A and B are shown apart, each in its own frame.
Chain A
């Protein structure tokens, strides 16, 4: 492979971009069809089409070519995805429900990016994801009601508070491993839920109302009018969620590619070896844990502002498990896999009414099946490659 001449490599790169654009187009059209599908039969047909397409792509080696394409020109994919998402938001500009789904997927994916850093990179299993998400929502609810701090700043602040409260757990998490650390986070998740349930200042079981984001004198919940068309008030939220997710994604991807990501991977795979090579285990665990909780808090604050309401029922242990299922389903440690996984976990039950009631059961069974039969998830994480002409392993 190293004998590849530069012009040939460039030519293949151009082909790679074309493949990625085509793929993005197909996925965008598919999502458009899926999101606007009304009847159960339509949804089922689309699901079957997707299953057949994935099977056929695997069968005829298309998946491999897509993988080579994304590897040869890694910058094209994210831009295509960004444009595709913007297109979807533009197409559904006045459909509240679909925009709400898009926002939910983006925000939960952001929270799961945090879990990916914790679970996938340094190997801290965090079963209190919903609690940190909830801390973000509650922080912004309290601060927006009682202070005049600008809301965009409050979003960042919610993440900081989430990370700060999470730092209580640093000592037990650092001193324990595996099962023991998992127990600490499970205990914290349940502690948080019971605490907000009994705390009257935070609204108790009834929860709190949130005002919705307003910034630079413009209130998001007013909606807006563009080209004589009423645009749903979810559009600004969708754009904000997209910006937050894109920023988090870029940061995490850069992090993974850098020596920081490399150190984190070593910490996860073998602590003894990491210590032997002079890697500061505690430092990377603390940074990953704080960063993950920060992202969950940020996502939670925007989600709370968007739905206008927080209550303890939204942050149960089952919701934490739901976040973990998204991270595992997507392929642990692969930020790209989170979006389809979040889509399957969050949107599918909304579209297929008959599994709505059974959704926790459905996720749990899917995750068990994934763990038993495809432990690497839907889109397994690949070994990182620093050079284009490296032989893939």
Chain B
């Protein structure tokens, strides 16, 4: 029972993080039909910005964990939001008319740049850094199973972000503009929507959500690493594809589905094949990505595609 509960909490947590990354990919693809592959590394940078903020605040002598948390969140969101907008402005918009693979390649390389910058220029950035535990670590007893308070808070926070995004997209003028640009950029422009402003805002928004996911990831594992963005980026992209690129709810679904598969894999693999090292769970996860792509090439909720000749 305890093990099962732990698997469920772990799955939900991973699912929340993956969903938040996948939402970014799908938003960017929606407005510009471009893949921003450095998204995972933007997330990593957000986590590092948060870490730097928490160190800075504690150096100022403020020891209240809640104030530190606020500083971490604000710093992470602002840094990545600006970075996301800058990426859109200086890398993705100029390459908009080029073949789509050029954008993919350029952003892959940008991911490399971000990774290397953190590895080389963040003090001792090549090693995993401990992330401060800013949330209360007490337990809530549910029968025999002890649920950690910080996990509950993280899950609720993730839920709030996702619901907030849903409201933003469906209920506000900005959301309307994003949807309009996603549907048809040209027509949206004719209707008086400032195309590039919407694109920049969308990229800022998506990147900020990724930063929140990065901070969540850091708080959950109490450790961040310059390399974590690559894996999270690939998984988030897979989740976005699984849900159908351009579909926000599909991306959230894809995130949870992928987390479920991964948890199932790490639970079922030792049962099926005895003596298998736990490290094979990553191999399993990526094998699943390849198989799913072969089975449903454009995702479970297929992207609407038509060929213009």
Interface residue ranges of B95-144 to A (CB < 8 Å) = 95, 98, 100-102, 104-106, 108-110, 112-113, 116-117, 120
Question: CA A194 – CA B227 in complex, angstroms?
Answer: 14
Question: CA A324 – CA B109 in complex, angstroms?
Answer: 10
Q: How large is the interface on A (under 10, 10 to 19, 20 to 34, 35 or more residues)?
A: 35 or more
Shortest Cβ distance from B98 into A: residue: A375
Question: CA A367 – CA B109 in complex, angstroms?
Answer: 7
Q: Are the C-beta atoms of A188 and B279 separated by less than 8 Å?
A: no
Q: Does A299 contact B (CB under 8 A)?
A: no
Q: Are the C-beta atoms of B238 and A187 separated by less than 8 Å?
A: yes
- Name A188's contact: one of B98, B238, B241, B286 (CB within 8 Å): B286
Residues on A with beta carbons closer than 8 Å to the beta carbon of B283: 191, 194-195, 198
Q: Would A371 and B106 be within 8 Å (CB), given that A180-B298, A198-B279, A198-B280 are in contact?
A: yes
Residues on A with beta carbons closer than 8 Å to the beta carbon of B102: 371, 375
Q: Does B55 contact A (CB under 8 A)?
A: no
Residues on A with beta carbons closer than 8 Å to the beta carbon of B245: 179
- Kindly provide the distance from the CB of B277 to the nearest chain A CB, expressed in whole angstroms: 5
Q: Are the C-beta atoms of A178 and B293 separated by less than 8 Å?
A: no
Residues on A with beta carbons closer than 8 Å to the beta carbon of B106: 367-368, 371-372
- A159-173 CB mask vs B (1 if < 8 Å, else 0) is 000000000110110
Question: CA A325 – CA B230 in complex, angstroms?
Answer: 18
Interface residue ranges of B24-79 to A (CB < 8 Å) = 35
Shortest Cβ distance from A322 into B: residue: B112
Question: CA A357 – CA B245 in complex, angstroms?
Answer: 37
Q: Are the C-beta atoms of A361 and B112 separated by less than 8 Å?
A: yes
Q: Are the C-beta atoms of B287 and A183 separated by less than 8 Å?
A: no
Q: Are the C-beta atoms of B116 and A364 separated by less than 8 Å?
A: yes
- Name B113's contact: one of A127, A179, A328, A364 (CB within 8 Å): A364
- Name A197's contact: one of B116, B279, B298 (CB within 8 Å): B279
Q: Are the C-beta atoms of B110 and A368 separated by less than 8 Å?
A: yes
Q: Does A60 contact B (CB under 8 A)?
A: no
Shortest Cβ distance from B291 into A: residue: A172
- Kindly provide the distance from the CB of A88 to the nearest chain B CB, expressed in whole angstroms: 31
Do most interface residues of chain B lie in helix, strand or loop, or is the interface mixed? Answer: helix
Shortest Cβ distance from A271 into B: residue: B307
Q: Are the C-beta atoms of B307 and A179 separated by less than 8 Å?
A: no
Q: Are the C-beta atoms of B113 and A365 separated by less than 8 Å?
A: yes
Residues on A with beta carbons closer than 8 Å to the beta carbon of B101: 123, 125, 178, 182
Residues on A with beta carbons closer than 8 Å to the beta carbon of B238: 183, 187
- Kindly provide the distance from the CB of B159 to the nearest chain A CB, expressed in whole angstroms: 28
Residues on B with beta carbons closer than 8 Å to the beta carbon of A80: none
Q: Are the C-beta atoms of A172 and B290 separated by less than 8 Å?
A: yes
Residues on B with beta carbons closer than 8 Å to the beta carbon of A363: 109, 112
- Kindly provide the distance from the CB of B299 to the nearest chain A CB, expressed in whole angstroms: 9
Residues on A with beta carbons closer than 8 Å to the beta carbon of B282: 190-191, 194
- Name B116's contact: one of A171, A184, A191, A361 (CB within 8 Å): A361
- Name A361's contact: one of B94, B117, B230, B279 (CB within 8 Å): B117
- A322-339 CB mask vs B (1 if < 8 Å, else 0) is 001100100000000000
Residues on B with beta carbons closer than 8 Å to the beta carbon of A125: 101, 104-105
Q: Does A321 contact B (CB under 8 A)?
A: yes
Residues on A with beta carbons closer than 8 Å to the beta carbon of B35: 179, 182
Q: Mind listing 15 A-B residue pairs with CB under 8 Å?
A: A172-B293, A175-B293, A178-B100, A180-B297, A187-B289, A191-B282, A191-B283, A195-B283, A197-B279, A198-B280, A325-B109, A360-B112, A363-B109, A364-B110, A375-B98
Which residues of A are in contact with B by a Cβ distance under 8 Å? 123, 125, 127, 168-169, 171-172, 175-176, 178-180, 182-184, 186-188, 190-191, 194-195, 197-198, 272, 317-318, 321, 324-325, 328, 357-358, 360-361, 363-365, 367-368, 371-372, 375
9 closest cross-chain pairs (CB), A and B: A172-B294, A191-B286, A364-B112, A361-B116, A198-B279, A364-B109, A175-B297, A176-B297, A187-B289
